[in-house]
């Protein structure tokens, strides 16, 4: 398929580059990530499995802590504090979503910015907004890398993002503004999102709503990035009605095989960067 942006292909290129860098470390201590999961969310199980597989593939070290659903926030924060103080840990992630009794904003602000592999700590996010960060939230960074890989012009382009989450929409909007794009961020209260989307050069859907983006949202010169990760009747799909839209746009990412693998590659790039700052 000619207009497909193959995130699996590019993520493999990035992972192989990381693997080479880790091989070159020879006798030095290897970079280490700690992945924390609270409870047994089925989607999280799947994402974590992919993350661990990629970590092993490139030769990093990984510790996976699966914690009881009922752990208190206080106990979770204590575990994170201990990891913050453990010199051989370079990156920490707490897989989201968390159970309702735990506040993810508090958790992400307790993970030290020096070990913030996800890029969700307020200090990291402040630096991302200012354009002074070396660490970026992985999904937004993966999206920008895909656009640059396919030579999609960001500077001066009209970008529409559907979704204002703290982990995709908000940081992505700031990163694109820093690259001189004109950015519109739509949310559930936006009036006539389809009309706004239709004028975009780049449409990024991160709404978490299957079949949201239909032919009314697109134009022939558009690049579509589908960040959706939805399960419909047991099938994994994005936010875009792919079959309806694919032939009516310039470039499009598939789900699966688009943004998802890029998120993992960019997460591990963050861990490597944190490692360099930590040794
Ligand atoms: N849940 C969905 N995406 C992510 C992510 O990038 N990091 C974490 N920690 N949890 C997530």
**Residue 29 annotated as binding site:** no
pLDDT classification of 130: cutoffs 50, 70, 90:
very high
What does residue 67 show for φ and ψ, rounded to 5 degrees? Answer: -100, 155
The set of catalytic residues is 51, 95, 118
Let me know if domain 26-112 sits in CATH 3.30.950.10. Answer: no
CA of 76 to the centre of ligand 1 (A): 17
Question: Across the chain, what does the average pLDDT equal?
Answer: 97
**Domain 138-259, architecture per CATH:** 3-Layer(aba) Sandwich (3.40)
pLDDT tens by residue, 26-40: 889 999 999 999 999
CB-based pocket (< 6 A), ligand 1:
93-96, 118, 138-139, 167, 263
The domain spans of the chain are 26-112, 138-259
pLDDT at 172 over 90: yes
pLDDT tens by residue, 233-271: 988 999 999 999 999 999 999 999 999 999 999 999 999
Tokens 């694919």 identify what position? 246
CA of 222 to the centre of ligand 1 (A): 27
Q: Which residue's CA lies nearest to atom 11 of ligand 1? A: 96
What does residue 77 show for φ and ψ, rounded to 5 degrees? Answer: -65, -35
Domains 26-112 and 138-259 share a fold: yes
CA of 207 to the centre of ligand 1 (A): 15
What does residue 96 show for φ and ψ, rounded to 5 degrees? Answer: -100, 150
Nearest residue to 93 via CA among 124, 72, 126, 70: 124
Pocket test residue of 50, 51, 65, 95 for ligand 1, highest count of atoms within 8 A of CB: 95
203 is written with which tokens?
A: 């449409």
Whole-angstrom CA distances from 51 to 33, 93, 209, 227, 274 are 10, 11, 24, 17, 17
- The residue-averaged pLDDT of 101-121 equals 98
């Amino acid at each position: 398929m000619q207009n497909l942006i193959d995130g699996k292909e590019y993520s493999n290129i990035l992972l192989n580059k990381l693997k080479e860098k880790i091989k070159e470390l020879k006798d030095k201590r290897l970079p280490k990530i700690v992945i924390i999961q609270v409870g047994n969310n089925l989607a999280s199980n799947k994402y974590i499995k992919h993350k661990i597989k990629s970590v092993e593939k490139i030769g990093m070290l990984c510790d996976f802590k699966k914690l009881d659903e009922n752990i208190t926030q206080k106990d979770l924060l204590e575990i994170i504090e201990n990891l913050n103080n453990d010199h051989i840990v370079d990156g920490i992630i707490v897989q989201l979503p968390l159970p309702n009794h735990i506040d993810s904003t508090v958790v992400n602000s307790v993970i030290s910015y020096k070990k913030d592999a996800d890029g969700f700590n307020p200090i990291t996010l402040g630096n991302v907004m200012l354009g002074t960060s070396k660490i970026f939230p992985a999904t937004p960074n993966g999206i920008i890398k895909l656009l640059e890989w396919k030579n999609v012009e960001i500077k001066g382009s009209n970008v529409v993002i559907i979704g204002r989450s703290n982990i995709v929409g908000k940081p992505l909007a700031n990163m694109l503004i820093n690259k001189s794009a004109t950015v519109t961020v739509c949310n559930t209260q936006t009036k006539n999102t389809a009309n706004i989307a239709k004028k975009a050069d780049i449409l990024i859907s991160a709404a978490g709503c299957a079949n949201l983006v239909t032919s009314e949202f697109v134009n022939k010169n558009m690049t579509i990035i589908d960040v959706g990760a939805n399960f419909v009747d047991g099938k994994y799909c994005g936010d875009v009605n792919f079959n309806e839209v694919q032939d009516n746009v310039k470039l499009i990412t598939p789900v699966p095989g688009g943004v998802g693998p890029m998120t993992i590659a960019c997460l591990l790039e963050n861990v490597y960067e944190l490692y360099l700052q930590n040794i």
